[in-house]
Structure 1
Amino acid sequence: MLDAFKKLISRPAPGPEWREVVEWARHNKLKYKREAEGEGFVITGGMESKPWRLEWGPPQRQYIDGHELRLRMELGLSHNLQVLLISQGLLENLERQAFERFTESTQTVIDANTPEEMRWLAMFPKVPYKAAKEVRSRFGLVSSAQPEAASWVEGALAKQLEESLAGFLRSEPPFVLMLLRGRAYLRMQLPEPEVALMTQAVGLFEVAVLQALRVAGVGAEGSPDWHSTGSTAWQTQLGPEDSPKGR
């Protein structure tokens, strides 16, 4: 009896419930699962039969403080298509860390323990791309495939980035968009899982996905089972003034 009582009082206090997030997921018929430790959650869903996964919780990268938002989606792209779009502040920070790592130690090669973002900045050339001046000054682009990388950003994605700078990226958090191993990834610092901010982030991610499929030739013309509806469940709780596509 005493042991049971000790176990009861030694249990950690329950974490936040994120009721708005739970309701948002339920309303949009998305699968919500709280992590066992109670420090974050996972939401899964899909776009036209293609699954995506959203995670919010402790960071998986040292360059992010507090909590991070992660999104990933399998697209079936060529594994040779390796592209990194990165916020300028983070780019400069990682380049500085890489320089210090290789000049202040005996390390002479880039190993697998180095984050992919840092490795790519050292390995791949920077890619010029057409976009509004503010976008070009706030986001760097590197890739092993320069023409495809520029084509991915230019147009719809560049426009969405410009709008996002007035929205969820206004505070210039550490932020990356990647095409890697046939998948699309988004990673950013997000202290609190605010539904409006997550919705805008996923709106940007959706545009990045559709642009990647277009560049790879897998869009509506190349794949009969992939069609953009112009909206997803992520936008259903926002009005026209809040939608990242509506501004």
Structure 2
Amino acid sequence: MLDAFKRLIARKPSEPEWPEVAEWAGRQQFGFKRVRDEGGGFVLDGQMDGKPWRLEWGPPQRSYIQGHELRVRMELGLSSNLQMLVLTQSLFETLERNAFESFTESTQTVIDGNTPEEMRWLVMFPKSSVKAPKTVRSRFHFIGAAAEDTERWVEGPLAEQLEKADAGFLAAQPPFVLMTLRGRVYLRMQLDDPDPRSLAGAVALFQVAVPQAIQAAAAAVAESPRPDFGNSSSTAWQNLGPDDEKA
């Protein structure tokens, strides 16, 4: 009896079930799975125009993100030349400072392949002067291998959605990245509390970024050939494959 009581009080608290997230995902017809790996978290699966996308929430995979990280990705088969990046002003300042310290104040003379693309692109690619509301231009930075691609991607619907996001789930300027890489669109941000409102805002932004990226890619193809930047050597996404998930 005493041993059973000791085992009972020694049990760890059960992991949160996120019932509100599961309910919201069900209403949106998204798949929902808990991740019972170290650190926990959950995975949502959805579709756009018949193509799958995935949302993951759990331990961070970037050093500039503390606590928990929200990640969304979708495979589109875009050209590897389409390398575009949107990030919050606060994260831009952090990465720019880290890049300066890494590449000028140390003995490092080349860009390390293990350095995240977000940081390396600050050094490699020019900033883009997009036509967007003043609040968007002051709160976000836009970078890409070809400035015209980034401008096509952001200007219009995506800029409008960024303005809404800035007034909503991005109002506190958390570390946030929206990018195209290796034919995919990615969204990555710090999010400690995965409440349905924040998740809905992130998904809405992602669902605008995807078709805009497709349009930007189509316009780029119609233009003259450009140098092939190839695939970046570091890993932009450490995903949980179907065989690695535990619901």
Short-chain TM bin: 0.7 to 0.9
Residues 51 and 5 of structure 1, relative CA distance in 2, 3 Å threshold: farther
The whole-number CA distance in structure 2 between the counterparts of 1:211 and 1:179 is 11
Shift of 1:143: 0.7
Aligned to 1:66: 67
* TM score, norm. by length of structure 1: 0.82
CA contact (8 A) 2:85 2:118 kept: yes
Identity of aligned residues (%): 63
In structure 2, runs of 5+ residues without a counterpart are 220-247
CA contact (8 A) 1:66 1:191 kept: yes
1:175-190 paired onto structure 2 within 5 Å:
175-190=176-191
Aligned to 2:85: 84
1:8-87 paired onto structure 2 within 5 Å:
12-36=12-36, 37=38, 39-87=40-88
Residues 146 and 3 of structure 1, relative CA distance in 2, 3 Å threshold: farther
| Residue correspondences, number | 218
Shift of 1:23: 1.3
The whole-number CA distance in structure 2 between the counterparts of 1:4 and 1:48 is 54
Shift of 1:123: 0.7
Shift of 1:126: 0.8
CA contact (8 A) 1:126 1:141 kept: yes
Letter in 1 for 2:211: L
Letter in 1 for 2:113: A
Aligned to 1:201: 202
The whole-number CA distance in structure 2 between the counterparts of 1:11 and 1:164 is 40
RMSD: 2.2
What SS does structure 1 have at the residue aligned with 2:203?
helix
Residues 8 and 77 of structure 1, relative CA distance in 2, 3 Å threshold: farther
Aligned to 1:236: none
> 1:136-195, CA deviations, whole angstroms, 9 ceiling, x for partnerless residues?
111111111211111100011111111211111111111110000000000111110100
Q: Quick check: 23-32 or 46-55, which moved more? A: 23-32
In structure 1, runs of 5+ residues without a counterpart are 219-247
Aligned to 1:97: 98
CA contact (8 A) 2:78 2:184 kept: yes
Shift of 1:7: 8.0
Greater RCO (Cα-Cα under 8 Å, separation 6 or more): 2
Residues 7 and 45 of structure 1, relative CA distance in 2, 3 Å threshold: farther
Q: Quick check: 138-147 or 102-111, which moved more? A: 102-111
Residues 123 and 5 of structure 1, relative CA distance in 2, 3 Å threshold: farther
The whole-number CA distance in structure 2 between the counterparts of 1:148 and 1:170 is 26
CA contact (8 A) 1:51 1:73 kept: yes
The whole-number CA distance in structure 2 between the counterparts of 1:53 and 1:6 is 41
Letter in 2 for 1:186: L
The whole-number CA distance in structure 1 between the counterparts of 2:24 and 2:94 is 35
Aligned to 2:236: none
CA contact (8 A) 2:39 2:58 kept: no
Q: Quick check: 84-93 or 9-18, which moved more? A: 9-18
